[in-house]
Structure 1
Amino acid sequence: MVAPAVSPEPEIERVEAPARRRWLPVSLRSLLVAAAGALVYLSVPPRVLWWLAPVGFAVLWFVLHGRRARGAFWYGFVFGLGFMVPLLAWTGVFVGPVAWLPLSGLEALLVGLPCAAMAVTSRLRGGVLWAALLWVAGEYLRSVFPFGGFPWGRVAFSQPEGPFLFLAALGGTPLIALAVALCGFGLGEVARRSVARRAGVDRAWPVVAALAAVLPLVAGFSARAVVGRDAQAGEVVVAAVQGNVPRAGLDFNAQRRAVLDNHVKRTKQLAADVRAGKVPRPDLVLWPENASDIDPLRNRDAYEVIDQAARDVGVPIAVGSVLVGDDGLPRNVVLLWDPVRGPVEQYTKRQLQPFGETMPWRGFFRLFTSAVDRAGRFVPGTDPSVFAMDRARVALATCYEVAFDGVVRESVLNGSNLLAVPTNNATFGRSEMTYQQLAMDRVRAVEHGRAVVVAATSGVSAIVRPDGSLVSSTDLFTADALVERVPLRTATTIADRLGAWPEWVMVAGALVVLVFGLVSGRRRRSAARVGSVPGAGDLGVPSGLTD
Structure 2
Amino acid sequence: MTSRAVRWLRTSGWAAAGALGAGGLVALSMPPWGWWPLAVVGLVALERLLADQPVGARFWRGFGFGVGWLFPATFWMVDFSPPGYLAVVVVFSALYGLVGAACPPGRHRWAALPGLFVLAGAIRWRWPFGGVPLATLPMSQVDSPWATTVRLLGPLLLVGVVVGVAMVGAAAVERRWRAGLVLAVVVGGFWGAATAAPAGTAVGTIDVAVVQGGGPQRTRAVNTDPRVVFERHLEASRQVRPPVDLVVWPEDVVDVPGLFAGSEQQRRLAQLARVLDATLVAGVVEDVSATAAANFAAVFAPDGTQVGRYDKVRLVPFGEYVPLRSLIEPLAPEELPVRDMRPGTGPAVVDSPAGRLGVSISWEIFFENRARDAIGNGGQVLLNPTNGSSYWLTIVQTQQIASSRLRAMETGRWVAQAAPTGFSAFIDPDGNVHQRTGVSEQKVIQAPVELRTGHTLATHLGPWPMIALALALVATAWGFHARSTGRPIRLRA
Secondary structure at 2:179 match in 1: helix
- The alpha-carbon deviation at position 78 of structure 1 amounts to 0.7
**Cα distance 1:362–1:206, how it changes in 2: closer, same or farther (>3 A)?**
same
Once the two structures are superposed, the pairs formed by residues 248-259 of structure 1 within 5 Å of their partners are 248-251=218-221, 254-259=224-229
- The alpha-carbon deviation at position 380 of structure 1 amounts to 0.8
Paired with 1:153 and 1:513, the residues of 2 have a C-alpha distance of 29
* Contact kept in structure 1, 2:148 and 2:409, CA below 8 Å: yes
**Cα distance 1:35–1:450, how it changes in 2: closer, same or farther (>3 A)?**
same
- The alpha-carbon deviation at position 216 of structure 1 amounts to 2.6
**Cα distance 1:368–1:382, how it changes in 2: closer, same or farther (>3 A)?**
same
**Cα distance 1:96–1:497, how it changes in 2: closer, same or farther (>3 A)?**
closer
Paired with 1:358 and 1:134, the residues of 2 have a C-alpha distance of 31
Once the two structures are superposed, the pairs formed by residues 460-471 of structure 1 within 5 Å of their partners are 460-471=423-434
Q: Output one character per residue of 1:72-93: Cα deviation in whole Å (capped at 9) or x when no partner.
A: 1111111001111111111223
- The alpha-carbon deviation at position 447 of structure 1 amounts to 0.6
Aligned counterpart, 1:41: 27
Secondary structure at 2:472 match in 1: helix
1:122 counterpart = 2:96: no
Paired with 1:526 and 1:431, the residues of 2 have a C-alpha distance of 47
* Contact kept in structure 1, 2:216 and 2:389, CA below 8 Å: no
**Cα distance 1:215–1:42, how it changes in 2: closer, same or farther (>3 A)?**
farther
Aligned counterpart, 1:277: none
Paired with 1:502 and 1:375, the residues of 2 have a C-alpha distance of 41
Aligned counterpart, 2:204: 234
Paired with 1:404 and 1:39, the residues of 2 have a C-alpha distance of 25
- The alpha-carbon deviation at position 476 of structure 1 amounts to 0.8
Secondary structure at 2:254 match in 1: coil
* Contact kept in structure 2, 1:246 and 1:258, CA below 8 Å: no
Aligned counterpart, 1:141: 123
Amino acid at match of 2:122: Y
Alignment counterpart, residue 236 of structure 2, candidates 263, 266, 269: 266
Structure 2 unaligned regions, length at least 5: none
* Contact kept in structure 1, 2:308 and 2:352, CA below 8 Å: no
Aligned counterpart, 1:496: 459
Corresponding pairs, count: 488
Aligned counterpart, 1:220: 191
Paired with 1:147 and 1:235, the residues of 2 have a C-alpha distance of 38
1:357 counterpart = 2:320: yes
1:208 counterpart = 2:170: no
* Contact kept in structure 2, 1:356 and 1:375, CA below 8 Å: no
* Contact kept in structure 1, 2:410 and 2:456, CA below 8 Å: yes
Once the two structures are superposed, the pairs formed by residues 34-433 of structure 1 within 5 Å of their partners are 34-93=20-79, 95=80, 97-118=82-103, 121-123=104-106, 126-191=108-173, 193=174, 205-213=176-184, 216=187, 219-220=190-191, 223-226=194-197, 228=199, 232-245=202-215, 248-251=218-221, 254-270=224-240, 273-274=241-242, 281-294=243-256, 297-298=260-261, 300-325=263-288, 329-366=292-329, 368-374=331-337, 376-433=339-396
Secondary structure at 1:84 match in 2: helix
Secondary structure at 1:459 match in 2: coil
TM-score if structure 2 supplies the norm length? 0.91
Paired with 1:341 and 1:310, the residues of 2 have a C-alpha distance of 5
Amino acid at match of 1:105: V
- The alpha-carbon deviation at position 334 of structure 1 amounts to 0.7
* Contact kept in structure 1, 2:212 and 2:233, CA below 8 Å: yes
Q: Output one character per residue of 1:64-109: Cα deviation in whole Å (capped at 9) or x when no partner.
A: 122222211111111001111111111223x352332222222211
Secondary structure at 1:160 match in 2: coil
Paired with 2:118 and 2:267, the residues of 1 have a C-alpha distance of 49
**Cα distance 1:235–1:103, how it changes in 2: closer, same or farther (>3 A)?**
same
Amino acid at match of 1:336: V
Name the structure, 1 or 2, with higher relative contact order (CA <8 Å, separation 6+). Answer: 1
Secondary structure at 2:202 match in 1: coil
* Contact kept in structure 1, 2:208 and 2:447, CA below 8 Å: yes
CA RMSD, Structure 1 to Structure 2 (Å):
2.7
* Contact kept in structure 2, 1:243 and 1:478, CA below 8 Å: yes
* Contact kept in structure 2, 1:394 and 1:416, CA below 8 Å: yes
- The alpha-carbon deviation at position 415 of structure 1 amounts to 0.7
**Cα distance 1:368–1:25, how it changes in 2: closer, same or farther (>3 A)?**
farther
* Contact kept in structure 2, 1:268 and 1:309, CA below 8 Å: no
Q: Which range moved further: 249-258 or 365-374?
A: 365-374
**Cα distance 1:323–1:374, how it changes in 2: closer, same or farther (>3 A)?**
closer
Structure 1 unaligned regions, length at least 5: 1-15, 195-204, 275-280, 528-547
Secondary structure at 1:249 match in 2: coil
**Cα distance 1:217–1:512, how it changes in 2: closer, same or farther (>3 A)?**
closer
Paired with 2:178 and 2:186, the residues of 1 have a C-alpha distance of 11
TM-score if structure 1 supplies the norm length? 0.83
Alignment counterpart, residue 403 of structure 2, candidates 440, 445, 463: 440
Paired with 1:322 and 1:363, the residues of 2 have a C-alpha distance of 24
Paired with 1:367 and 1:307, the residues of 2 have a C-alpha distance of 42
- The alpha-carbon deviation at position 509 of structure 1 amounts to 1.5
Secondary structure at 1:171 match in 2: helix
- The alpha-carbon deviation at position 253 of structure 1 amounts to 6.5
Same amino acid, percent of matched pairs: 27
